[in-house]
Structure 1
Amino acid sequence: MQMTHYAEAKLQEEKVFKDPVHRYVHVRDQAIWDLVGTREFQRLRRIRQLGTTFLVFHGAEHSRFNHSLGVYEIIRRIVDDIFVGRPEWDESERLLVLCAALLHDLGHGPFSHAFENVFELDHEYYTRQILLGDTEVNAVLRKVAPDFPEKVSQVIEKTYPNKLVVSLISSQIDADRMDYLQRDAYFTGVSYGHFDMERILRVMRPRENQVVIKSTGMHAVEDYIMSRYQMYLQVYFHPVSRSAEVVLNNILKRAKQLSMEGYKFKHEPTHFKAFFKNDITLEDYLSLDESILFTYFQFWMKEDDEILSDLSRRFVNRKLFQYIDLDPCAELDKYQKLQALFRQAGLNPEYYLVHDTTADLPYDFYRPGEENVRVPIFLEMKNGELRELSTESIIVDSISGKMKRDHKIYFPMDFLEDTSTHHDVKKKICMILQGN
């Protein structure tokens, strides 16, 4: 009886967080309030939502903590205002979907994409470890019910039996995307990510396996899709942000390489030892955040290894790589010639001539029928029939699946412009890069 009591426990007085996107985030449930106070959730304050994007859009300093609260608030409004009383919605799932919304990004590491890439990690794996391991979050969830942590994990992993619950957090039009588009637009200062969320929430309807949209709300959904499309092109795929990520990626890669070779660091990289050895405990993972990474970058600027010190200096002081459009697969001879010339110029092409494609980004866009995980958007017609969005919307059909792979190579132009050494080789490199 005591466990059931905790699941239904309310705060004596509603707590609110002031929020620039949703105005207020409302918390009435004791469990939600307790989860926000856990060390694992508070850690998200120290991890930026947009990784290296703050080096391009200086306002993009917002954290995964902000975003997680925002996703929770959207879900709270859906289940408390829009779905309440509807026969297709099971009220007993309310706290479950609220907790899943709040905790869905719990396992993200510092500068997630580069960090996961270099150390071959998966933030979803760590989300599960935090939910089910010996953590403050797990202790709160178990007070709801012994199997509650597992249920929350299943919703986030998209394996929970009730697909309607899953679709609220992970579908083509879910609370996660609706928050990050608006939040990222707000903090980057761009105008692309804004859409009429109020209207979308009002036309959402719970059905057996997913959320559907009343056909009368189609134009609001079109606006949302176009917002996404523009945000990918203008913010998430921004080449300067990708340049910063390339430099960051190579800092971590170099530090790992040096450690494997037995290099003696001037300042022992204590926080990274487990990651270099691929012997990571949950505590090791939770101990790393972006402030610690920046501290080590400051240390590494003074290292004897020229590559590590140079890359660290570039990232900290924002002396990033330049770029050109080039697909090594399509222009292999050109790429290999550049690699050879870079070596002649005293630059290791592994670290200083980097191919990158935006298709590697952990963001997707609207491709009906191509995604196994995210369910397409369905419109509910007046006769009750469900129609996939792009079959009804000319606008959405016109951009569905049209995003093409964007290939670039990144390189340190400042080094190539310094003709005090390897003058002739650098001249040849610049001619190739300029298309001559």
Structure 2
Amino acid sequence: MIVQNKLKIFNDPIYGFITIPNSLIFDLIEHKYFQRLRRISQMGMSYLVYPGAHHTRFHHALGCMHLMQKTVNVLRFKGVSISEDEEQALYIAILLHDIGHGPFSHAMEHSIVNGVSHEQISLLFMEQLNKEFNLSLTLAIQIFKGDYPRKFLCELISGQLDMDRADYLKRDSFYTGVAEGNINSQRLIAMLNVVDNGLVVEEKGIYSIEKFLMARRLMYWQVYLHKTSVAAEQLLIRVLKRAKELSGQGVVLQASKALQFFLTHEINLKNFNSETLNTFAKLDDYDIVSAMKEWQYHEDFVLRNLCEMLINRDLLKVKLKNKEIKPEKLQDHILKLKDKYDITEKEASYFVFTGEISNQAYQTKNQQINILYKNGKVQDIIKATDQLNLKALSKTVTKYYICYPKEKL
């Protein structure tokens, strides 16, 4: 019998070598549910703006696990007790935290799956894997859901200073070439500690936190909420919505079996059973791209043009405003398009639409970032810092956009 070496090493462009801590983690990484993340882009349609942004959720999940290993070592060194079971659960929870993402990361949630978030699908995947791995994911699921009594462990998975943010800011900054997002995640981790069951940052790490919050703000405006990325993602959502609408009218569209299933079925959280989950696990970016390559020649005016725009990167015109877009301005663009191409108002609204984007770098309500002073005092970062900008970062800034076609479709 051939014995497989399960303690392998990944070479990561950000951190260098990433080690797999044990055979259970190896088996989870090898599982088809997790391998699918190699075919899910981390940043959706952002590659249309930043050509280097082709990294995947697979890269990101491994990076998060690597940072979690560093964090466990740092906290144990500082006298925080973390059992072997808790350590294992942390690695599993952070490794699988994004496993429920659909093609191009967020587009599915707003188009062909009805009100089911990627976090809910991640949980369904984890529960399915728990059955397959003899309930060895039970504690990880508890921490992932935030139900575990040791609050700081849950904060490491989902909080203001979780390993998810510590990795994606640095990774996305690297692959997009946007230097403003390049945080020092190693330094942040080295400054972590635990007080009263909550995560804190030691006083000497205060400037690293300031840099982290500023990087988060800049990355959102410059990258994640870049107007062209937003417009491209909205187009993709509309492609899938139109495809689902046509399928509902009995039009047969060329698509993979997995995509066909979601186009022809109304899927919500109540009927998201194990069969649906297995079909979802077969769906990735490639299904959507190959479908759009076919649909760009479809006779339907809306579907054809939307797909052509994305395939050839001939996108809509986008304008950002500080005030809400006036309805008459929107209506004006819709009527122009309707008359020009002799289409219905509903069809025209696929190409002309408004929306809003908002950015809040630091949330004061849910989980604060607390600074630990040498005398044992704990204080919120906003009160602890001499950087006046941080208070402004806790306010939500909203911008409004309008998208409409350039001269000619």
Q: Which amino acid aligns with 1:154?
A: Q
1:340 maps onto 2:328 in alignment: no
User: Taking every aligned residue pair, what percent have the same amino acid on both sides?
Assistant: 29
1:271 maps onto 2:266 in alignment: no
Per-residue Cα deviation, 1:212-236 (whole angstroms, up to 9, x for no partner): 0011110111111111111111111
Q: Which amino acid aligns with 1:155?
A: I
Per-residue Cα deviation, 1:279-314 (whole angstroms, up to 9, x for no partner): 451111111000111111111112111211111111
* Match in the other structure for 1:425: none
Q: Which amino acid aligns with 1:365?
A: A
Mapped partners of 2:399, 2:322: distance in 1: 8
* Match in the other structure for 1:384: 376
* Match in the other structure for 2:10: 17
Mapped partners of 1:376, 1:313: distance in 2: 45
TM-score, normalised via structure 2 length: 0.89
Mapped partners of 2:348, 2:238: distance in 1: 11
Consecutive unaligned residues of structure 2, counting only runs of 5 or more, are none
1:83 maps onto 2:70 in alignment: no
- Relative distance call for 1:220 and 1:258 in structure 2 (3 A) is same
Contact 2:360 2:397 in 1 (8 A): no
* Match in the other structure for 1:45: 38
Mapped partners of 1:328, 1:286: distance in 2: 41
Q: 1:320: how far off?
A: 0.7
Q: Which amino acid aligns with 2:186?
A: E
* Match in the other structure for 2:51: 58
Aligned pairs, number: 390
The structure carrying a bigger helix percent of its residues is: 1
Q: 1:365: how far off?
A: 2.0
TM-score, normalised via structure 1 length: 0.84
* Match in the other structure for 1:349: 348
Mapped partners of 1:275, 1:12: distance in 2: 38
1:259 maps onto 2:247 in alignment: yes
- Relative distance call for 1:111 and 1:364 in structure 2 (3 A) is farther
* Match in the other structure for 1:4: none
Map 1:239-254 → 2, pairs under 5 A:
239-254=227-242
Q: Which amino acid aligns with 1:368?
A: T
Q: 1:33: how far off?
A: 1.3
Map 1:404-423 → 2, pairs under 5 A:
404-415=397-408
- Relative distance call for 1:18 and 1:287 in structure 2 (3 A) is same
Contact 1:326 1:408 in 2 (8 A): yes
Contact 1:218 1:379 in 2 (8 A): yes
* Match in the other structure for 1:7: none
- Relative distance call for 1:208 and 1:411 in structure 2 (3 A) is same
Q: 1:272: how far off?
A: 2.6
Mapped partners of 1:283, 1:257: distance in 2: 23
- Relative distance call for 1:327 and 1:138 in structure 2 (3 A) is farther
* Match in the other structure for 1:316: 311
Contact 2:217 2:393 in 1 (8 A): no
Per-residue Cα deviation, 1:240-282 (whole angstroms, up to 9, x for no partner): 11111121111101101111112233x3663233323124511
Which moves more between the two structures, 286-295 or 112-121?
112-121
* Match in the other structure for 1:429: none
Mapped partners of 2:216, 2:306: distance in 1: 32
Q: 1:57: how far off?
A: 0.3
CA-atom RMSD in angstroms: 2.1
Map 1:125-136 → 2, pairs under 5 A:
125-133=120-128, 135=129
Equivalent residue in structure 1 for 2:60, among 67, 70, 95: 67
Equivalent residue in structure 2 for 1:367, among 344, 347, 363: 363
Mapped partners of 1:45, 1:67: distance in 2: 10
Contact 2:201 2:371 in 1 (8 A): yes
Equivalent residue in structure 1 for 2:219, among 217, 231, 249: 231
Q: 1:358: how far off?
A: 1.8
Per-residue Cα deviation, 1:62-111 (whole angstroms, up to 9, x for no partner): 000000000000000111x2012544332231111011111111111112
Contact 1:154 1:160 in 2 (8 A): yes
Mapped partners of 1:413, 1:157: distance in 2: 45
* Match in the other structure for 1:433: none
Mapped partners of 1:233, 1:393: distance in 2: 23
Mapped partners of 2:24, 2:149: distance in 1: 23
Q: Which amino acid aligns with 1:272?
A: L
Secondary structure of 2:111's match? helix
Equivalent residue in structure 2 for 1:158, among 146, 156, 161: 146
Map 1:276-315 → 2, pairs under 5 A:
276=263, 277-279=265-267, 281-315=276-310
* Match in the other structure for 1:178: 166
Mapped partners of 1:122, 1:48: distance in 2: 17
Secondary structure of 1:76's match? helix
Which moves more between the two structures, 338-347 or 203-212?
338-347
Mapped partners of 1:300, 1:333: distance in 2: 32
Equivalent residue in structure 2 for 1:29, among 4, 14, 22: 22
Consecutive unaligned residues of structure 1, counting only runs of 5 or more, are 1-10, 417-436
Q: Which amino acid aligns with 1:208?
A: D
Which moves more between the two structures, 377-386 or 340-349?
340-349
Mapped partners of 1:406, 1:237: distance in 2: 10
Mapped partners of 2:374, 2:78: distance in 1: 18
Q: 1:412: how far off?
A: 1.4
Mapped partners of 1:327, 1:86: distance in 2: 47
Mapped partners of 2:89, 2:174: distance in 1: 29
Mapped partners of 2:394, 2:407: distance in 1: 37
Contact 1:390 1:400 in 2 (8 A): no
Which moves more between the two structures, 182-191 or 322-331?
322-331
Q: 1:34: how far off?
A: 1.4
Q: 1:188: how far off?
A: 0.3
- Relative distance call for 1:231 and 1:183 in structure 2 (3 A) is same
